Structure 1
Amino acid sequence: MEWEKVSDEKSELLGSSIKDLVTEKKKMFGCPVYFVNNNMFTGVHGSNIFLRLSEEDREKILSEFESVSIFEPVKGRKMKEYVVLSPAIFNDNDLFKQWLSRSHEYVSGMPERSPKKSKSKKP
């Protein structure tokens, strides 16, 4: 599978849409992702915006929007708590912020994860 460059447009859209939420921005494999209490909350992968949702909210969004799907960053490696948003959601500012808020609330309620220790490099 060929790696798709991160969409600057989607990165800027996501960054401006969550500016009022408490998050920590990091990069994973060159992609901007946002964390709450060391738990991944949302991010951009290629030209897709993904977010983490509760089981109830995942079922709701998947049933309401045909083009929403489970996030699969690598073929065969689905991340079951994450969905890829459709343009119908992120092109509607109010709807986009509503789903971001639901995701943020869900992830904020999760126990804080211990940060991973970086591997020390040998000289």
Structure 2
Amino acid sequence: MRKWKKASEELGELVGEYVAEYDAEFRKMFGSPVHFVKGNMFVGVHGDGIMLRLKEEDQQKLYAEHDEATPFTPNGRRMREYAILPPSVYDDEMELRKWLDISYTYVSSLPKKEKKEKTSKKTKRTKD
């Protein structure tokens, strides 16, 4: 298994600049910058890559247009609606904006994700 790699600060700043024009909430997940729309993960940085959420047909279009694009598989587990953009996309402002727009439109269409109530860390007592 690959060792966990810290998120690229440079990519985090790049994503932050582009995402500023969207109605998205910034959070850190496992030390990585991630942006959410209506409680749903939209785009973030993982290691040296930018991941974003896409519906299946848009993922297929991304893979067809960019050979280096890959499914997002942190720790070897595939996250079904997420893909990693290749550097050729985030090195091209127009192409990056295009894919952010596609992702944002999709994530904005999803129902609002409600925050789960935090459970108490105290162990529950069982009746004797």
TM-score of the superposed pair, with normalisation by structure 1: 0.94
Q: Distance in 2 between matches of 1:13 and 1:49?
A: 10
Residue aligning to 1:56: 57
Structure 2 residue identity aligned to 1:44: V
Alpha-carbon shift at residue 120 of structure 1 (Å): 3.6
Q: Distance in 2 between matches of 1:112 and 1:56?
A: 22
Structure 2 residue identity aligned to 1:104: Y
Describe how 1:5-20 pairs up with structure 2 within 5 A: 5-20=6-21
Q: 3-state SS of the aligned residue for 2:80?
A: strand
Residue aligning to 1:46: 47
Q: Distance in 2 between matches of 1:116 and 1:23?
A: 19
Q: 3-state SS of the aligned residue for 2:79?
A: strand
Does residue 111 (structure 1) correspond to residue 111 (structure 2)? The answer is: yes
Q: Distance in 1 between matches of 2:13 and 2:120?
A: 33
Describe how 1:1-123 pairs up with structure 2 within 5 A: 1-75=2-76, 77-122=77-122
Alpha-carbon shift at residue 121 of structure 1 (Å): 4.3
Q: Distance in 2 between matches of 1:39 and 1:57?
A: 17
Structure 2 residue identity aligned to 1:7: S
Alpha-carbon shift at residue 28 of structure 1 (Å): 1.1
Identity of aligned residues (%): 43
Larger gyration radius, structure 1 or structure 2 = 2
Alpha-carbon shift at residue 64 of structure 1 (Å): 1.0
Q: Distance in 1 between matches of 2:118 and 2:69?
A: 34
Alpha-carbon shift at residue 116 of structure 1 (Å): 2.2
- Give ranges in structure 2 of 5+ residues lacking alignment: 123-128
Structure 2 residue identity aligned to 1:101: D
How many residue pairs match? The answer is 121
Residue aligning to 2:126: none
Alpha-carbon shift at residue 69 of structure 1 (Å): 0.3
Q: 3-state SS of the aligned residue for 1:42?
A: strand
